[in-house]
């Protein structure tokens, strides 16, 4: 979305605006049709998917696909990190994840599951603040 907010925390009108505004912005600046959407921070449900398709997106990508999503047009994606070098990017293309990174990903996913959207976002913002 335009603000990178967790969509499942927003009202329907806010979600619609996030989906439409980000698409308009990208199409205007890139001068090409935007058909794909990546869900911010991985929190998604069937309602968000329906709204994304209604906004004109053809494919939706999510870093950690919830098992309860019924849509087969929602694809898993790799969250490329800014500190990756070419060798790490090549591992991602092959579908390989270093052991330490896999452990951290599982820890993050468990945190998302336990704390849900609000708690996870609060903790994430705290870590970002501490790391600055």
d(Cα 39, Cα 42) in Å, to the nearest integer?
Answer: 6
Quote the tokens at residue 57. 């997106």
Kindly report the pTM of this predicted structure: 0.70
Residue 81's pLDDT is what?
87
Helical H segments across 39-98, by residue range: 46-54, 86-93
- In order along its 132 residues, the chain shows pLDDT tens digits of 678 888 999 999 999 999 999 999 999 999 999 999 999 888 888 899 889 999 999 999 987 666 666 666 677 888 888 899 999 999 988 989 999 998 988 898 889 889 988 898 899 889 889 988
């Amino acid at each position: 979305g335009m603000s990178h907010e967790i969509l499942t925390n927003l009202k329907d009108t806010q979600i619609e605006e996030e989906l439409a505004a980000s698409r308009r912005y990208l199409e205007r600046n890139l001068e090409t049709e935007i058909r794909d959407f990546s869900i911010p921070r991985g929190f998604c449900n069937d309602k968000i998917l329906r709204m994304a398709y209604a906004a004109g997106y053809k494919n939706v990508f999510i870093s950690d696909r919830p098992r309860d999503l019924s849509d087969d047009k929602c694809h898993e994606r790799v969250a490329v990190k800014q500190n990756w070098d070419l060798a790490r990017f090549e591992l991602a293309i092959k579908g390989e994840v270093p052991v330490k990174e896999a452990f951290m990903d599982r820890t993050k996913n468990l945190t998302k599951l336990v704390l849900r959207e609000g708690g996870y976002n609060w903790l994430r913002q705290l870590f970002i603040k501490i790391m600055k």
